[in-house]
Chain A
Amino acid sequence: MVNPTIDLLIQFGIMFAIGAAMAVAFIAISHLLSPKSVNPSKGEPYECGVVPMADARAPFNVHYYLVAVLFVLFDLEAVFIYPWAVSLRSLGTPALVEMFIFIAILLVGYVYAWKKGVFEWE
């Protein structure tokens, strides 16, 4: 409990260890207590009692990719904004103007995505 960085490592390490130990303990106790019986039909995916027709490794809507790409863009924007938000008071008005320009450029992309119908799900 001397060096701040090592302190943080210890503190987060202890919390992570407690969480992981709890999770492992749940599964281990369950493994000891639970009944085990083998039956091939138990391994089938659940489809309301019907024998499954199609495999789940099927192509899915490209919309999910578009949303994920937009998320990466906007989340990066957010990561740029956080340090700016913390130090706005010391940076003053020039930083405010710069951030308006930065967000205006990103809004162009946002409006383009909106007009292209990325946010429309049918």
Chain B
Amino acid sequence: MSDPVAQLIFLIIKAIVMPVLIILIVAFAIFFERKFAGFFAGRVGPTYLGPWGSLQSFGDIFKLISKEDLIPAKSDKPVFKLAPYIAFVPVFLVMAVIPFGPVGGEANLFGYRFDYVIASFDAGLVLFLAMGAMAVYGVVLGGWSSNSNYSLLGGLRAGAQMISYELAMGFSAAGVMLMAGSMSLIDIVDGQAGNFWDWYWIPQIVGGLVFFVASIAELNRTPFDLAEAEQELVAGHLTEYSGMRWGMFYFAEYVNLVVVSMIVSTLYLGGWRAPLEVLDFIPGPIWLFLKICFLIFVYMWVRWTIIRYRYNQLMSIGWKVLLPLSIANLLVTAVVISAVN
């Protein structure tokens, strides 16, 4: 078997295993989100399906899939049907560029070179930001095409919010590009080789925090979930969606949560690297998994601890605090790097 054929077989295996694992993480993330919600509110959360209710998400999928699919009579039907796909599919391209182990001839499997990444793409970070911008289309088009006032307002709010925080995210990501001298996520992880104090979270602490806060807004989670503020907008852009179309939006939100956790750990927490070089014998995917679990827990912790901001506060935080902070972080990083160089 020649090397290209082996690489193609590896590629197909990786391209199937990675989405399946992420979807399993999503299923349990939804379960833990509800368990934590119960815990934080003094309730018990789901308990009936499986041990401690751990199979609740699978039950929910079967319920959603067997629900009637309603399409409002006055809606823009092609756009209404297209919007869930736009929200769901782009995030799969981001999965392809995230390294989960050593890349470039370091690892072998059955005597063939094995890269722990699906696509070794030079501009992986830019691809992530671009696909984050695509997600705005799913939300805005879904809100507009429903022809309902709640959906329209939710979609507009979500669109303005996501593009505002996208900026802060892009500028703080540029700080990491400066540190690594590359846009490739593989090179960014390589630049963080060593122990946990060599990772970028110490030199980029401001940028990292801005990126994290902006990613909460990008994921439409509390305290920035203005798009689907139940008390005022029913369910925002999702009001008219039902059954599996609604399920796809919901599912995409959690797949995004996992993928953004992967990106945050890749940019600031050393990606698949072990916190101490002594622990390098434990494989990279396990470390990446532990970091994802930690970040998902922090996202849930924030969600159930901090209350929702008002819309004008939200836009002020994005434009007047996070954007200047991220630009300042970028300039300071550039000056320090030039001085050291």
Contact = CB atoms under 8 A, between A and B. Distances in A.
Given A30-B67, A85-B178, A89-B341, A18 B240 contact: no
A19 B19 CA distance: 8
For the residues of B in contact with A, the DSSP-based class is helix
Contact of A45 (B118, B147, B163, B327): B147
Contact of B119 (A8, A42, A43, A122): A8
Contacts of A40: 73
A34 B149 CA distance: 27
A112 interface: no
Contacts of A14: 11-12, 15, 118
- Interface size grouping (class) on chain A: 35 or more
Contacts of B221: none
B47 interface: no
B225 interface: no
Contacts of B337: 88-89
Contact of B73 (A44, A48, A88): A44
B119 A96 contact: no
B73 A43 contact: yes
B168 to A, nearest CB: 10
Contacts of A119: 315-316, 319-320
B89 to A, nearest CB: 4
A71 B167 contact: yes
Interface stretch (B34-42, B91-99, B195-203, B290-298): B91-99
B72 A43 contact: yes
Nearest to B81: A27
Tell me if A's interface is mostly helix, strand, loop or mixed: helix
Interface in A59-108: 60, 63-64, 67-68, 71, 74-75, 78, 81-82, 85-89, 92-93, 96, 99-100, 103, 107
Contacts of A57: 147
Q: Which of B88, B152, B244, B315 has the most CB of A within 10 A?
A: B244
Contacts of B65: 26, 29-30, 33-34
B67 A19 contact: no
Nearest to B69: A34
Contacts of A78: 167, 170-171, 174
Nearest to A72: B163
B159 interface: yes
B248 A45 contact: no
Contact of B68 (A11, A18, A34, A87): A34
B126 interface: yes
A110 B164 CA distance: 13
A100 B331 contact: yes
B108 interface: no
A51 to B, nearest CB: 13
Given A67-B163, A78-B171, A8 B181 contact: no
Given A11-B119, A71-B163, A121 B311 contact: yes
A40 to B, nearest CB: 7
B147 A56 contact: yes
11 contacts: A1-B3, A11-B11, A11-B96, A29-B65, A43-B71, A56-B147, A75-B163, A85-B174, A92-B338, A96-B338, A107-B327
Interface of B: 3-5, 7-8, 11-12, 15-16, 19, 64-74, 84-85, 88-93, 95-96, 118-119, 121, 126, 146-153, 156, 159-160, 163-164, 166-167, 170-171, 174-175, 177-178, 181-183, 234, 239-240, 243-245, 247-248, 311-312, 315-316, 319-320, 323, 327, 330-331, 334-335, 337-338, 341
Given A19-B91, A34-B243, A45-B149, 12 more contacts: A11-B11, A15-B118, A16-B89, A26-B247, A30-B66, A37-B68, A67-B160, A71-B164, A71-B167, A82-B177, A88-B181, A119-B320
Q: Which 10 residue pairs spanning A and B have beta carbons closest together?
A: A43-B73, A19-B92, A45-B148, A30-B244, A11-B119, A1-B4, A121-B312, A1-B7, A85-B177, A71-B163
